[in-house]
Structure 1
Amino acid sequence: MRSLSTRSRLLGLAGLLVLALGPLGQAGAQNPAATPPAEPVLAADLREEIQHIPVTVSDLYGRQETRQIPITVFRPAGAGPHPLVILNHGRPTRDKRAQQGRQRYEHMARYLVAKGFAVMLPTRLGYWETYGDFDPEDSGACNAMRIEPMAKAASDQVLATLAYAQSQPDIDTSRWLVMGQSVGGLTAVATVARHPAGLVGGINFSGGTGGDPERRAGNPCGPAVLAKAWEAQAKEARVPMLWLYWANDLYWGEDNPRRWQQAWTAGGGLAEFHTLPASGKDGHNGMNADMDHWVPLVEAYLARLGFTRPGVPTVPPAQGQRRIDAVNEVPISESAREGFYRKFLAAPAPRAFAIGPSGNVGWATGDWAVGRALGFCQARKGQACKLYAVDDQVVWAP
């Protein structure tokens, strides 16, 4: 069961998302600067767990530290060995780094696990529980940025995560990928530049650094500095990448990412580049809020690398004998029908409603509705759920 604060956080990420998982707990108003976010319940169906590993990194000023960082691990069912994705988070403003919580990207992880990947997501040093006196991703003043130290510190933590994965018998690190969003995308690029053993590809979602959507919308610090750094890093890159940006990215604007990709390829790197149409108020969050549009591009990219198992949930054919508005025929409790299914009926398409074997339900509207509905239904109990309705059609086949 999700608390109100957790539910609100998810809605904030997806914008149009509506969910129904059970009775809501009570939560009073809180000061986000003073109260850490509630720790989410582990997703049982993704075999989610938390591990801590040591990392040794240096900052812009040459200070070196060894600290423990948390890693969120998701695994597919079965003994494996499963190919690996190391997924990397972005860099919020200083006042939010302590409050951002353990990084999970659950919907993204759910898609990758459905494709058969184990997913490891390190919450890097300087964020959440390690926020404090040491920030290895400080790149200096806006007019005098240095990209290399922060890129090395971030990618060092990817390699430390890889070393931990190599100790796990159910994970195949002979074929793995690195992915990330925002500074996590920069981290993915920096990791590809170091061509570690077993790496076969990387995906950069809205990658970069120096953005400020409130004071410098579309005009980041040092875009030419980043271009120069990526051109230099590309000389050692070996694997093909996929770079995805959105037209209305308030951190970078529309033109800078294309220049960065041109610098990367000029240096010898390989990167298929796409600018996707505007998403929401700020396309910088497209990885989380625009899955319907980027998933086909990622499916095609991963298929070229040999990962052909589909990650898109299958929608069964419509059951013509069932009417979507026949509320009393939905095979769940009366309270769930009245509390959740009627809300689903009132929601706009795209929308989906899922049911689990013990009567648990999940529903969603908007982006990636089918995948989110199934995830909300089955995450906490770990039971596989089935779709009951998608858009205006009942697809339930008992």
Structure 2
Amino acid sequence: MFFNFIKIPTYIFFISLFQNQLLAQKIVWEQIQIPAEKTNSNGLESLIMWPDTKGKHPLTLITHGTPRNHEEIPKRTAMLFFAQAVEFARRGFGVAVVMRKGFGHSGGGLSRYLNDSCTSPPYLLRTKKASNDLKEAISYLSSMPQFDTSKTIVIGVSTGGLAILGLTAFPPEPKDAVVVAGVNFAGGSGSYSNGRICGLMN
């Protein structure tokens, strides 16, 4: 397990709010690095969580957005979605919060995010890359005994929402997962200041 040490005090406080709930519900969690292509030994930083009960649990996969300031990308962490993961685990789901390539401690580098332009945004390419990251994660999670990926729910916000759209349009192989629902919170990509996004530049 590893943390972004810059933000440990925040996470300790945050997790402490849910400690009694975790104990009462017998919820298990850990941070792992999911193996993925072109991530060297880093893999994809992920928070996984599940009820401490027998059998497999339907998978809920959650993924993040992209900060406008690219210097913030390496500082992001799956722990930002700890509270949301707890709420799904309380309801019987297995949960994986997945940091896509280049974010947080995930391998893959920042280069894929630094050449975007509002004048010619590569939406399709960007979406396919992001959804491929998630498919790699789901494939790995399908091999873990606590997750039932035949009943997978996928959730994303901002660029994560766009990734979810890509995942539902280009779903995982049937042997890895069946996506039964996708939830997109403000999915999109490209913003150069508060309230100003690509395509709406007035």
Instruction: Write the distance in 2 (CA, Å) between the matches of 1:130 and 1:94.
Output: 15
Q: Which residue of 2 aligns with 1:160?
A: 136
Q: Secondary structure at the match of 2:86?
A: helix
Say if 2:130 is the partner of 1:170: no
- Pair 171,138 (structure 1): closer, same or farther in 2 beyond 3 Å: same
Moved more, 101-110 or 133-142: 133-142
Match of 1:50 among 31, 37, 60: 31
Per-residue deviation at 1:170? 2.1
Provide the rounded CA distance (Å) in 2 between the counterparts of 1:171 and 1:96.
Answer: 31
Q: 1:158 to 1:38 in 2, by over 3 A?
A: same
Quick check: which one's strand share is greater?
2
3-state DSSP of counterpart to 1:86: strand
* SS of 2:131 mapped into structure 1: helix
- The aligned amino acid for 1:207 is G
Please state how far the C-alpha of 1:220 moved relative to its aligned partner. 0.8
SS of residue paired to 1:202? strand
The match for 1:80 among 49, 55, 58 is 55
- Residue by residue over 1:104-158, the C-alpha shift from the partner in whole angstroms, topping out at 9 and shown as x without a partner, is 4122112211221101011122122247854334562121111122211111111
Residue of 196, 199, 202 corresponding to 1:222:
199
Deviation at 1:173, TM superposition (A): 1.1
- Structure 2 residue aligned with 1:89, among 64, 70, 77? 64
Asked if the contact 1:88–1:181 (Cα under 8 Å) also holds between the matched residues in 2, the reply is: yes
How far did residue 165 of structure 1 move? 1.2
Partner Cα distance (1:102, 1:162) in 2? 16
Name the CA shift for 1:149/1:110 in 2 (closer, same or farther; >3 Å): same
Give distance in 1, aligned partners of 2:120 and 2:181.
Answer: 31
SS at match of 2:184: strand
Larger radius of gyration: 1
Gaps of 5+ in 2: none
Aligned-residue RMSD, C-alpha = 2.5
Shift in CA distance, 194/100, structure 1 to aligned 2, threshold 3 Å = same
Partner of 1:267: none
Structure 2 Cα separation of the partners of residues 123 and 205 of structure 1: 16
Per-residue Cα deviation, 1:325-363 (whole angstroms, up to 9, x for no partner): xxxxxxxxxxxxxxxxxxxxxxxxxxxxxxxxxxxxxxx
Check conservation: 2:118, 2:199, Cα contact below 8 A. yes
Higher relative contact order (CA 8 A, sep 6+): 2
Task: In structure 1, list runs of 5 or more residues that go unmatched.
Answer: 1-34, 57-64, 224-251, 253-398
**Which residue is 1:206 aligned to?**
186
Instruction: For residue 149 of structure 2, give the secondary structure of its aligned residue in structure 1.
Output: strand
TM, length-normalised to structure 1: 0.41
Residues 1:70 and 1:130: Cα distance change in structure 2 (over 3 Å): closer
What count of residue pairs does the alignment treat as equivalent?
179
Counting aligned pairs with the same residue, the percent is 26
Amino acid of the residue matched to residue 44 of structure 2? I
Which residue identity lines up with residue 31 of structure 2 in the other structure? I
